[in-house]
């Protein structure tokens, strides 16, 4: 699209790049009020992306592009598959993932990215590249899943033992009890049905159904990206999405969010196809079916789907702006065909309102509870009172240490920042085309809206939209836009600039995503700084014993560290365990649970004034003179 000013026509891409530079400048003063890592890093990333676009579009298109040698193009796929086999052996020998596993994964990811970007056209095999991406993705995910006893994460411990277990025990949804998931039981029914049909344990049934589907879900990103760019760069989007930190976390912490993400990727693909060639009965029927599936899977995922449809309606309104459109667009561009998507938005909104109005949440419906909780949070939020401590806490680092306050947050945000870099360039190229497509504009609007929901509220103390759940959905849109951007850079930049951009992206993106706190919840990169959400066989065994043989309640709980107490509460279905106060003195509690992780890991305890902090301790400090009620060599129950 272009802005017509007399005889001059200015590309909307150019206008967007100039606006991006101005926005980057306006964001810099926010450092005076907020010390969040993204406030310091987003402006330079935004500025560099806009400048690179302006330079690339004003230089002659490259007559040749950098390529790998023929020998390297033939040898590197074998290196990746051999390295992937080595990762399987390493995870079996070490019992999971660890520093060596991560180092090899980063190296293999870099090799995959370099192949995608630099293999000559005559040696390019899309199937072979996709095979490498899927193989590496499978190993990364299942090494994390199988390397921990039980499950990775916290919420899965209520979904599997309580809800899926209740369905298997009673043979109906009544076994789930009164929970909002009785109106969204698709995840639980999927695992229960897989358990019954295959004869596997519920744990393996979960891995064999939702786990495998998550490993294959990145193919939906490929099918979406190839609608906007060449197959080479569609594979690039697939690879970037596959190793993304929040995609990996929902591939090892398998909860309804995981299944909701899979459904969202299918909805995104169908929505793009309908916008590009119009409604076809089969695709419309599939889209409506996936809307129903989403409504019955996960409430947050369904809301994100609604945002996508809203972005589509907004794009349609922008392209059908009537008089404004005739003023801004040249005559030949007024023939852009726009397919109406308002009906899908209205149907999705009506469906979700109907389902949510019947969904129980406490003593209210889900719709009422969301309004009450959100309004209470807005009233009680402290604006500009969320410094870097919040970021460090989210990453798990200890306040006061360079690793906890600076290094871990920087690693955790690196992948997102590089996605932002690629998204800005891809969006500008889409806006700068002679005919900006409806689907392309939808992706741009969706990316903007989702980033606002994800990034802005937490800076002001509002986390009711659960921003951690949004990133994996946002990354699907950003991966497609990034692929569009790199495709155009390959044609416009000099070989030297392109090689530098690809190499820096491959190294930093792979390193940041693989080492991020969220991607390594089962085995943190910095085990003494970031909380581990995977559990040893002794810790998992102790859960059964502690639930079955101890008596406590919310008024007289048993104390231990977090997240262990959170898992115990969810596994047992009652709030019987509380966070111990460990702040320089032995805890003054009647009954405590000590585990070796508290001595060598990053356990969370409370301070004397009720704040949450990471502090290592030992069995002498935790138990003192208490008697030993249970000890399996790793977990000890101490009682007065």
Q: What digits encode the pLDDT tens for the residues 271-319?
A: 999 999 989 999 999 999 999 999 999 999 999 999 999 999 999 998 8
In the numeric block, which tokens belong to residue 393?
A: 């806490």
**Mean pLDDT score, 618-634:** 91
Say if residue 227 is preceded by a cis peptide, omega within 30 of 0: no
pLDDT at 400 over 60: no
**For the segment 540-563, what is each residue's pLDDT rounded down to a tens digit?**
999 999 999 998 888 899 999 999
In the numeric block, which tokens belong to residue 272?
A: 């793009």
Q: How confident is the model at residue 177 (pLDDT cuts 50, 70, 90)?
A: confident
Burial (Cβ within 10 Å: 0-12, 13-18, ≥19) of residue 17: buried
CA dist 145 → 96, 139, 506, 534 (Å): 8, 10, 26, 9
Q: How confident is the model at residue 382 (pLDDT cuts 50, 70, 90)?
A: very low
Mean pLDDT value across the chain: 88
Percent of the chain surpassing pLDDT 90: 69
pLDDT at 386 over 50: no
Cβ atoms of residues 609 and 622 within 8 Å:
no
Closest among 150, 169, 154, 105 to 132, alpha carbons compared: 105
Cβ atoms of residues 442 and 271 within 8 Å:
yes
170's CB contacts (< 8 A; 6+ apart) are none
Range with lowest mean pLDDT among 206-215, 320-329, 377-386, 593-602: 377-386
Cβ atoms of residues 387 and 443 within 8 Å:
no
Backbone angles phi, psi at 358, to 5 degrees: -105, 5
CA distance 253 to 247: 10
Q: Which residue has the higher pLDDT, 336 or 319?
A: 319
Question: What stretch of H or E contains 594?
Answer: strand 591-595
pLDDT at 37 over 70: yes
Question: What is the distance, to the nearest Å, from the Cα of residue 308 to the centroid of all Cα atoms in its chain?
Answer: 16
Range with lowest mean pLDDT among 86-100, 151-165, 343-357, 487-501: 487-501
């Amino acid at each position: 699209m272009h802005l017509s000013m007399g005889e001059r026509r200015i590309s909307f891409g150019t206008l967007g790049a100039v606006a991006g530079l101005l926005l980057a400048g306006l964001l810099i003063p926010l450092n005076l009020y907020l010390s969040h890592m993204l406030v310091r890093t987003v402006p330079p990333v935004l500025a560099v992306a806009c400048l690179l676009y302006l330079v690339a579009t004003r230089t002659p298109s490259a007559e040749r592009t950098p390529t790998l040698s023929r020998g390297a193009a033939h040898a590197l796929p074998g290196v990746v598959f051999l390295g992937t086999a080595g990762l399987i052996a390493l995870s079996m020998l070490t019992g999971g993932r660890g520093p060596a596993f991560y180092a090899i994964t980063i190296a293999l990811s870099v090799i995959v990215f370099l192949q995608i970007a630099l293999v000559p056209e005559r040696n390019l095999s899309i199937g072979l590249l996709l095979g490498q991406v899927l193989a590496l993705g499978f190993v990364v995910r299942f090494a994390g899943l199988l390397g921990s006893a039980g499950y990775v994460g916290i919420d899965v411990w209520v979904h599997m033992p309580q809800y899926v277990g209740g369905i298997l025990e009673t043979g109906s949804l009544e076994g789930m009890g009164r929970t909002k998931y009785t109106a969204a039981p698709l995840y639980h029914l999927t695992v229960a049905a897989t358990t019954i049909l295959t004869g596997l344990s519920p744990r393996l049934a979960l891995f064999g159904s939702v786990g495998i589907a998550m490993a294959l879900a990145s193919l939906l990103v490929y099918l979406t990206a190839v609608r906007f760019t060449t197959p080479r760069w569609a594979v690039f989007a697939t690879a970037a999405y596959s190793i993304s930190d929040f995609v990996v976390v929902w591939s090892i912490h398998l909860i309804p969010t995981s299944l909701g993400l899979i459904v969202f990727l299918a909805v995104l693909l169908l929505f793009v196809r309908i916008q590009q060639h119009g409604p076809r009965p089969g695709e419309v029927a599939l889209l409506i079916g996936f809307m129903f599936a989403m409504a019955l899977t996960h409430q947050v995922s369904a809301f994100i789907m609604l945002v996508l449809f809203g972005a589509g309606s907004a794009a349609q309104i922008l392209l059908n702006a009537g008089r404004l459109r005739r003023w801004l667009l040249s005559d030949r561009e007024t023939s852009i065909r726009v397919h109406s998507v308002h009906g899908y938005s209205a149907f999705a909104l009506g469906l979700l309102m109907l389902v949510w109005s019947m969904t129980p949440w406490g003593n209210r419906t889900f719709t009422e509870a969301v309004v009450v909780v959100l309004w209470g949070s807005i009233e009680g939020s402290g604006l500009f009172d969320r410094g870097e401590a919040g970021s460090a806490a989210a990453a798990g680092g200890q306040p006061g240490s360079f690793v906890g306050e600076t290094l871990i947050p920087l690693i955790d945000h690196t992948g997102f920042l590089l996605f932002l870099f690629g998204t800005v360039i891809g969006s500008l190229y889409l806006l700068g085309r002679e005919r900006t497509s409806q689907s392309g504009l939808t992706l741009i609007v969706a990316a903007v809206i989702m980033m606002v929901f994800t990034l802005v509220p937490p800076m002001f103390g509002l986390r009711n939209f659960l921003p951690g759940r949004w990133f994996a959905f946002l990354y699907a849109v950003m991966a497609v836009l990034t692929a569009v951007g790199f495709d155009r850079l390959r044609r416009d930049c000099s070989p030297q600039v392109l090689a530098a951009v690809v190499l820096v992206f491959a190294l930093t993106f792979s390193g940041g995503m693989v080492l991020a706190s969220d991607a390594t919840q089962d085995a943190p990169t910095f085990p003494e700084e970031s909380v581990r959400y995977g559990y040893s066989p002794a810790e998992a065994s102790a859960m059964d014993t502690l639930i079955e043989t101890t008596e406590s309640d919310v008024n007289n709980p048993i104390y231990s560290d977090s997240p262990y107490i959170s898992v115990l509460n969810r596994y047992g279905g009652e709030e019987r365990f509380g966070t111990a106060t460990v702040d320089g003195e032995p805890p003054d509690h009647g009954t405590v649970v000590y585990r070796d992780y508290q001595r060598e890991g990053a356990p969370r305890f409370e301070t004397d004034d009720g704040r949450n902090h990471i502090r290592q301790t030992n069995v002498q400090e935790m138990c003192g003179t208490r008697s030993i009620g249970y000890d399996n060599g790793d977990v000890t129950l101490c009682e007065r």
